[in-house]
Amino acid sequence: MNKVKVLFVCLGNICRSPTAHGVFEGFVEQQELADSIEVDSAGTGDWHIGHSPDSRSAAIAKQRGYDLSHLRARKVTTEDFSNFDYVLAMDETNLSDLKALCPSEFTGELCLFLNFHPDQSYCEVPDPYYGGEDGFDHVFDMVEVASQNLLEHIVSRHQLKAKTG
């Protein structure tokens, strides 16, 4: 069976998309689905390539039981559309950039990540980079809920067997 592959995308790949990557990867591991689901993240910009996630994201991740230490920023590529089933943007600007890069033959799902959040008043994951710690906490709250719903969607749609109990 081929793995379901999920790519989270923000601007610099140091705050929002690695947060989503780490949280979703944590949920995948908790449900013992790592053999069925692959997770990655990227940015539409190139100025942070090779950098670790923002220290504020990493600290809050650690407090909440997620590990971002293995993640390094990279730039999204056209090839990503051949490799991933889900390409999920953190905001409308990044979604627009992804649509411009997306080849016409892409058959996966290209949309906003928060389409998987039950509170539809949330459309975009706000960029916490220039704000305080509370912005990072807010991002984690949003990402955790959307990640749980995304995982349920993938398990159902692709008929995966998640750990029960």
- Say whether 16 is catalytic: yes
Q: Residue 32 — left, alpha, or beta (φ > 0 → left; ψ -120 to 50 → alpha)?
A: left
Give the Cα-Cα-Cα angle 142, 102, 77 (nearest 5 degrees): 80
Active-site position among 40, 91, 97, 127: 127
Identity of the residue numbered 54: D
152 and 158 Cβ atoms separated by less than 8 Å: no
d(CA 150, CA 50): 27
Which residue of the set 10, 56, 80, 91 is catalytic? Answer: 10
CA distance 40 to 81: 13
Of these residues, 15, 16, 80, 97, which one is catalytic?
16
Instruction: Give Cα 101 to chain centroid, integer Å.
Output: 18
Q: Is 56 tagged catalytic?
A: no
Q: How far apart are the first and last CA of the chain?
A: 24
Which residues are catalytic, by number?
A: 10, 16, 127
